[in-house]
Structure 1
């Protein structure tokens, strides 16, 4: 179990370092851009984006404000209730994500996938997906 704890600490750090060095984009900014790119209409409520990125709402707001200043995300009022806010990926944000994606892929391969050479990656991916499901949403 110590190995798992170590991976949980080390992997995000090395991926972040590589992303910053190779693409000039920290993992804390890459991750919300990625989640927005995969969302319907490239938009998510701020609370949903915070959950997806495992951040508090206030922490996510700080990240989105940084992304908004760079022109990669816009915050718009939610159509359905008018109280909440959506984060919406801009064309510039998608372009920035696409630019950084090769560096992200390379670092994840180097620091994770390559260590599972000879293993069934489809089964491993399915197992990781089960682990990653938030237990609060399994009830």
Structure 2
């Protein structure tokens, strides 16, 4: 087994801390500004970009297991952010769509979310660092292989 070098271990641990802090900051900002969770936001963005989706397709896009998605959609339906409809052509399937309330919540959330991401991630990097960061991410994603679709607004 090849262990990580000291530098690789430092980079890896810093990466994990960064991801955790970014997710915490995004969740906090969304909660404070518009009472949405980061999970709510992910679902609303996917539905606003693609329109109504079969539940299994939405799960593939956001990269969640069926159980997590079902619980999330139930909470969002209770708050009238999304609506679910049975598929008239396939009794095994159901479709979910964003509601007017969900679209309004997404509009309210987007500006603050984008500003937070810009200020925490991109404003502190030069153009060359941004390109390197993006290139490193693409290389790692290619090595991991297919997964959920990329969502550029998250």
Q: Distance in 2 between matches of 1:25 and 1:132?
A: 28
Q: Is the counterpart of residue 24 in structure 1 residue 35 in structure 2?
A: yes
- Can you list the C-alpha shifts for 1:6-26, whole angstroms capped at 9, x where unaligned? 222221111111111122211
Kindly name which structure, 1 or 2, has the bigger radius of gyration based on alpha carbons. 2
Deviation per CA, 1:83-130, whole angstroms, max 9, x where unpaired?
A: 111111112211110111111111111221222233375675566456
What's the counterpart of residue 115 of structure 2? 106
- Residues 40-90 of structure 1, C-alpha deviations (whole Å, 9 max, x = no match): xx1112122223223211111111111111222111123442211111111
Q: Under a length normalisation based on structure 2, what TM-score does the superposition of the two structures give?
A: 0.74
Aligned with 2:104 (options 95, 100, 119): 95
Total equivalences in the alignment: 135
Give TM-score, length-normalised by structure 1.
Answer: 0.81
Unaligned runs of 5+ in 2: 1-11, 148-154
Q: Which runs of 5+ in 1 are unaligned?
A: none
